[in-house]
Amino acid sequence: MKRETKLCHYGQPSRPGPANPPVVRASTILHDTVASYRATKAARETDDSVLSYGRRGTTTAHALMEAIADLEGGEGAWLYPTGVAAIAAALMALVRPGDHLLLVETIFGATRTYCDKVLAEFGVSYDLYPAATTDLTPYIRDNTRLVFVETPGSQTYEVMDLPALCASAHAAGLVVVADNTYGSGWLCQPLALGCDVSIIAGTKYLGGHADVMMGSVSARGEAAALVRKATHLSGQSLAPDEAYATLRGMRTLALRLERHEQNALALAAWLDARPEVLRVLHPGLPGHPGHEIWKRDASGSNGLLSVVFAPGIDTEALLDNLQLFGVGSSWGGFESLAMPIAPERSRPSLQGLPEEAQIVRFHAGLEHAEDLIADLEAGLTAVTAKG
Ligand SMILES: *Cc1c(COP(=O)(O)O)cnc(C)c1O
């Protein structure tokens, strides 16, 4: 069955029945007999779809777990109240005191901060490695356990060669964890490309409507068993309303991403031709670091693009002038966003640019591209006329 068709049918109850799994709110699950209670407890040891207690998820969360595991190609998927909670849970499941980690230089900021402020207290250290790395040998120490990847990278979208990197990591006995929020299980399949664990901040495209917070960890092999155990023992779960909203969002994931991609590419082309713009960062553009690898390993791009403006362009005034682009954190919802960003200037995609150049990250929403471009044009005209 095609993936688009599966999105429409994930978690559907048996017929006659509702088209979506109902929101089942429960802490206690009642049994008539002690024997039934005991049998349920025993069954959940090996089966996450057993309805045993609210902390282990009700049927609503179970439907979503199955859907995400299938989308990501994992042996299982586990759910968390935010994307960062999913990242923290995966790291806590796989890392031990004294371990050394390798984080890609373009890693999502909060992932690195978690390592700096929490894992460091457990004697866990890390080094950064370049996004273009295919051979990890120079970075591996005796106590290295885990490699964290994210492709394309946060904010600047450098593409990683996951098959090559995973081969190098596995040859050294390391576990590979991917932040797959950019592709959200649709554009890119890190587990199929060799990773052991794939994390999605479902807050972004899975929910897709800027009204849900959630995260997932999908995994295979030994890593799956470790993530499952740590998740259950640490009491992680996702509330049924959030699980419902996420699965509802996933019904239109393919359709939305198609439009987000078209709009982002339209904005990229228009901005690239503007005199105020020095560079547009987007993995779908020829010449972008790793563009050929992205074409090989992914099925498309999403609504994100970052734009480097020429020194002298007042980007803050530009953002204040935009009507359709809201200023705010996160992305992946139906709405367009713009936000000033300040990634490290050492990143490959930022080479050769003046230090004073300001960078803005845009998220192209589902509006009509012509309206978005007209908004940008009006905003740029206002700031350049003033300057
Ligand atoms: C947003 C994001 C997260 C964190 O998700 P939250 O739900 O906001 O905690 C993690 N990784 C990436 C790449 C993200 O963009």
Q: For the domain that residue 9 is a member of, what is the CATH number? A: 3.40.640.10
State which amino acid sits at residue 158.
Answer: E
Q: Are 200 and 185 in contact (CB under 8 A)?
A: yes
Phi, psi of 80 (to 5 degrees): -140, 160
Same domain, yes or no: 243 and 296: no
Measured from the Cβ of residue 275, the count of other Cβ atoms closer than 10 Å reads 9
Same domain, yes or no: 55 and 141: yes
- For ligand 1, is residue 84 a contact (CB within 6 Å)? yes
Tell which residue, 254, 198, 213, 174, has the closest CA to residue 8: 254
Same domain, yes or no: 212 and 302: no
CA torsion, ordered 131, 135, 141, 144, to nearest 10 deg: 60
Query: What is the pLDDT at residue 12?
Result: 95
- For ligand 1, is residue 306 a contact (CB within 6 Å)? no
Tell which residue, 279, 284, 57, has the closest CA to residue 152: 284
Domain that holds residue 351: 253-386
Same domain, yes or no: 303 and 332: yes
The best mutation among 82, 181, 200 to test binding of ligand 1, ranked by most ligand atoms within 8 Å of the C-beta, falls on 181
Domain boundary among 231, 250, 269: 250
Same domain, yes or no: 230 and 287: no
DSSP 119: G
Domain boundary among 204, 227, 250: 250
- For ligand 1, is residue 153 a contact (CB within 6 Å)? no
Strands in 337-341's sheet, in edge-to-edge order, are: 277-281, 304-309, 359-363, 337-341, 326-327
**Å from CA of 243 to ligand 1 middle:** 17
Same domain, yes or no: 225 and 283: no
**Å from CA of 312 to ligand 1 middle:** 31
- For ligand 1, is residue 213 a contact (CB within 6 Å)? yes
Total number of domains in the chain? 2
- For ligand 1, is residue 152 a contact (CB within 6 Å)? no
- The rounded distance, in Å, linking the Cα atoms of 195 and 321 is 43
Q: Which DSSP string corresponds to 345-364?
A: TTSGGGTT--TT--EEEEE-
Mean pLDDT, residues 301-320 taken together = 97
Give, using CA atoms, the residue closest to atom 2 of ligand 1.
Answer: 201
- Quickly state the pLDDT bin for 385 (edges 50, 70, 90): confident
- The rounded distance, in Å, linking the Cα atoms of 161 and 239 is 36
CB-count burial class (<10 Å; 0-12, 13-18, 19+) for 137: exposed
**Å from CA of 201 to ligand 1 middle:** 5
**Å from CA of 356 to ligand 1 middle:** 28
CATH assignment of the domain containing 296 = 3.90.1150.10
CA torsion, ordered 361, 365, 367, 373, to nearest 10 deg: 20
Percent of the chain scoring above 90 in pLDDT? 98
In sequence order, the β-bridge partners of residue 176 are 147
Whether 387 shows a pLDDT value over 80: the answer reads no
Query: What is the pLDDT at residue 386?
Result: 66
Domain boundary among 234, 250, 266: 250
Same domain, yes or no: 208 and 293: no
Give, using CA atoms, the residue closest to atom 7 of ligand 1.
Answer: 83
Same domain, yes or no: 214 and 292: no
Q: Are 4 and 247 in contact (CB under 8 A)?
A: no
Same domain, yes or no: 24 and 148: yes
- The rounded distance, in Å, linking the Cα atoms of 249 and 255 is 11
Chain mean pLDDT for the chain: 97
Q: pTM of this prediction? A: 0.97
